[in-house]
Amino acid sequence: MDNSNAEQVSASLPSTRTHELVASARWLLKMRWIAGAGVFPATWIACSVLNLGVSSTPLFITGVAILLYNALLWYWLGRLNRIADPQDVRYSHLAHLQVGLDWLAMTALIHFSGGVESPIIFFFVFHIIIASLLFDQRTAYFYAFTALLLVGGTVALEVAGRLEHVHVEGFLGTVSYREPAYLVGVLGIFAVTSIVTVYLTSSIAERLRRREDQLSTLYMGAQAVSSSLDLATVLNRLVEATAEAMGVSAASIGLIDSTGTGVEVAAAHGMSASYLSKGPILLEKSRVYSKVLSSGRPLIVQGEVDRSRFQYPDEKEKEGIRSILYVPLIARNRTLGIVRAHSSRPNRFTEDDARFLTAIAAQGGVAIENAMAYQALKKLDLDKSQFVRSVTHELRSPVTGAQSLLRGVIKGYAGGLTDRQQDILKRLNRRLNKLEALINDLLDLAAGRSDLKVEDNRSLALMDTLDRVIARLSVQLDEKEQKLVYDRPAGNPIVSATEEGLDRIFVNLVGNAIKYTPEGGTVSVQVEERDLHVATAVKDTGIGIPAKSLPRLFSEFYRAPNAKAFETGTGLGLVIVKELVESFGGRISVESEEGRGAAFTVHLPAAAP
Ligand code: ATP
Ligand code: MG
């Protein structure tokens, strides 16, 4: 990847460089406290211990100046941190000001410690490294050349006698600092060192920055891709992540078709409609595709390429595609297809890009496989529900037929019966009634799973339903001599549901309350309107639910041991209730203790009348 590509990538990402600039500004300020303070002991050693003959006063003054301007910069940074966000251009101004002042301070130190003889000249290299880390390569070169100009200019002025030259005792013996060979040697090496330093440092820094950008894209892509189980969403997010990470405008995902002989485009980004409709990719006709799939390795196709390697060379040229990167899409243990990025620029992709896209594709592959497995499970569940539905449907008609025949026989339409015969037929009738109830429950369950549609919901007055349900169940309440407490709210809560669904919810809950409460107990129904929802509590004073049964209450066919000993049932009612409540956007909760009654509360979102 060359520089302009790197810029494409970073432009679409939260820039690492601006964040870096803020962090580096602080770090640089801290370092300068040390460097500024370091001038004093260094000067003392040079003047008093090594007796180098340089004058300490101007050096001390420069040290003080460094500390002073650092204090001002420190104050400015503190203010910026309070008022500006990291993108603020003033952070960049601060960085340039810091480097500018350092350049002047360095020039002063060099001049006062011997000019071209000064060993401090090579300290400039540290500053050049810092500038290369802070700024882009061009700016870093600018600062390196400025350093050369400042040092070269100072030396020139000293040689010309315009500026007093400080001689360092014992450094140069017979050689004069005016000696051309000496000047050229020192300044030449300084120049080469500076330029090479900028080149090396900024190339390494640029690489690291690109890696950092890539990692954050990879991270964001992984999050986007794995946050959904919907196959189409996963595929679309993956192509977008690919295009963004590669900094190209077009990417696509092709999945191997069911016959294994071709690849179908499953998601595409940034491609023209005519290119997308070019036709299916057949492995026997596309050498590039078959090569990637059989080798399981990425492939870069760019520059002058043999047209025969492609199935659609004309379409490729018309689309203006000059470079293509193919990466196999591999999940756990099988190849699913190919991720492809392309560009209109020749020689656009590098090995580095191939490695990076392979990492993205690996994450995407797992997410795609998960979404596929989820889709298959959903389909299986639907098939199962449909199967249950058709079987129960077929079962219902002979049962209802048998029931009506039996009722006729019991009523004596087929001739007189003995008491014993009557008794047996009545028991048979009760069994058939139970069987019919079970079939109805199963039908409800299957119906709920397969085709409960939100658009079937209407705004319904909850109290109408509850009145109806209670009226219907009052016979059973009377039979068991149970007391009913029915608290109607002041208002008229409206919920969004189907009439039949709402009926079934409360027939089941109130029915259970009656069923699992001994004679003489109390059943209560309380409706409360809260902020955005309506809570309906169905309570009883019955046998209650053992603590260890509570978590399994809403699973198919589950019945608590105390309930089994108390009454017959199938254990499907609550499953149906829960599915219906959830299909209406609500939830159900239960509170109970064995032997102390139960309370089921249905929370439904309030709807507009
Ligand atoms: P059916 O499918 O015929 O309604 P069921 O009443 O046993 O049979 P659910 O209504 O699903 O099935 O209830 C499941 C279990 O939850 C019951 O078997 C019982 O153990 C417990 N349960 C439900 N309501 C109550 C209640 N009001 N009091 C005590 N236990 C209850
Ligand atoms: Mg029940």
Give me ligand 2 centre to Cα 534, in Å: 23
pLDDT in tens, 96-120: 999 999 999 999 999 998 888 888 8
Nearby residues of 454 by Cβ (< 8 Å), 6 or more positions away: 583
Atom of ligand 1 nearest to the CA of 559: 18
pLDDT in tens, 554-588: 988 899 999 999 988 888 889 889 988 998 999 99
Determine contact, residues 573/512, Cβ cutoff 8 Å: yes
Q: What integer pLDDT is reported at residue 12 of this predicted model?
A: 35
Q: What integer pLDDT is reported at residue 16 of this predicted model?
A: 52
Q: What integer pLDDT is reported at residue 448 of this predicted model?
A: 64
Q: What integer pLDDT is reported at residue 337 of this predicted model?
A: 94
pLDDT category of residue 62 using cuts at 50, 70 and 90? very high
Q: How far is CA 507 from the centre of its chain?
A: 43
Atom 18 of ligand 1, nearest CA residue: 559
Give me ligand 1 centre to Cα 381, in Å: 24
pLDDT in tens, 278-294: 888 999 999 999 999 99
Give me ligand 2 centre to Cα 573, in Å: 5
Determine contact, residues 266/255, Cβ cutoff 8 Å: yes
Q: pTM value? A: 0.51
Could you tell me the fold of the domain covering 454-605?
Answer: Heat Shock Protein 90 (3.30.565)
Token pair for 553: 């209450």
Task: Tell which wins on pLDDT, 398 or 521.
Answer: 521
pLDDT in tens, 549-563: 999 999 888 999 999
**Ligand 1 pocket test, candidate residues 512, 541, 562, 572, most atoms within 8 A of CB:** 512
Q: What integer pLDDT is reported at residue 146 of this predicted model?
A: 96
The strand order across the sheet containing 587-592 reads: 483-487, 522-529, 533-540, 598-605, 587-592
Atom 5 of ligand 1, nearest CA residue: 571
Q: What integer pLDDT is reported at residue 83 of this predicted model?
A: 84
Atom 10 of ligand 1, nearest CA residue: 573
Determine contact, residues 153/214, Cβ cutoff 8 Å: no
In the chain, domain spans: 3-220, 241-372, 454-605
385 pLDDT above the threshold of 80: no
| Residue-by-residue DSSP string for 531-575 | SSEEEEEEEESSS---GGGGGGTTSTT---HHHHHH----S-HHH
Give me ligand 1 centre to Cα 584, in Å: 22
Strand pairing class (483-487; 522-529): parallel
Instruction: Count other Cβ atoms within 10 Å, centred on residue 100.
Output: 12
Which conformational region is residue 443 in: left (phi greater than 0), alpha (psi within -120 to 50 degrees), or beta?
alpha
Residues that place a CB less than 5 A from ion ligand 2: 512, 573
The pairs formed by 563-572 with CB atoms below 8 angstroms and a separation of 24 or more are 563/516, 566/516, 567/515, 567/516, 568/434, 569/515, 570/437, 570/438, 570/441, 572/438, 572/441, 572/442, 572/444, 572/445
Q: Does an H or E element contain 125, and which?
A: helix 124-134
Q: What integer pLDDT is reported at residue 5 of this predicted model?
A: 37
Superfamily of domain 241-372: GAF domain (3.30.450.40)
Token pair for 132: 């290369």
Give me ligand 2 centre to Cα 386, in Å: 23
Atom of ligand 1 nearest to the CA of 516: 28
Atom 14 of ligand 1, nearest CA residue: 571
Atom of ligand 1 nearest to the CA of 517: 28
Which conformational region is residue 115 in: left (phi greater than 0), alpha (psi within -120 to 50 degrees), or beta?
left
State residue 604 phi and psi, 5-degree precision.
Answer: -120, 140
Chain-wide mean pLDDT for the chain? 88
Helix residue ranges, H only, 162-179: none
pLDDT in tens, 309-365: 888 988 888 898 999 999 999 988 789 999 999 999 989 999 988 998 998 888 888
Helix residue ranges, H only, 84-123: 89-112
Indicate which ligand has the atom closest to the C-alpha of 442. Answer: 1
Mean pLDDT, rounded, for 67-94: 88
Q: What integer pLDDT is reported at residue 6 of this predicted model?
A: 33
Task: Tell which wins on pLDDT, 14 or 103.
Answer: 103
- Identify the bridge partners of residue 329 per DSSP, sorted by sequence position: 337
pLDDT category of residue 455 using cuts at 50, 70 and 90? low
Give me ligand 2 centre to Cα 403, in Å: 22
Atom 20 of ligand 1, nearest CA residue: 560
pLDDT category of residue 263 using cuts at 50, 70 and 90? very high
**Ligand 1 pocket test, candidate residues 476, 557, 574, most atoms within 8 A of CB:** 574
Portion of the chain with pLDDT greater than 70, in percent:
95
Give me ligand 2 centre to Cα 425, in Å: 26
Q: What integer pLDDT is reported at residue 2 of this predicted model?
A: 37
Determine contact, residues 361/339, Cβ cutoff 8 Å: yes
Portion of the chain with pLDDT greater than 90, in percent:
49
For ligand 1, residues with CB inside 6 Å are 441, 508, 512-513, 516, 540, 542-545, 553, 559-560, 563, 569-574, 598
Evaluated on CA atoms 64, 67, 73, 74, the torsion sign reads negative
Helix residue ranges, H only, 227-261: 231-246
pLDDT category of residue 41 using cuts at 50, 70 and 90? very high
**Amino acid identity, residue 59?**
L
Indicate which ligand has the atom closest to the C-alpha of 567. Answer: 1
Mean pLDDT, rounded, for 433-447: 82
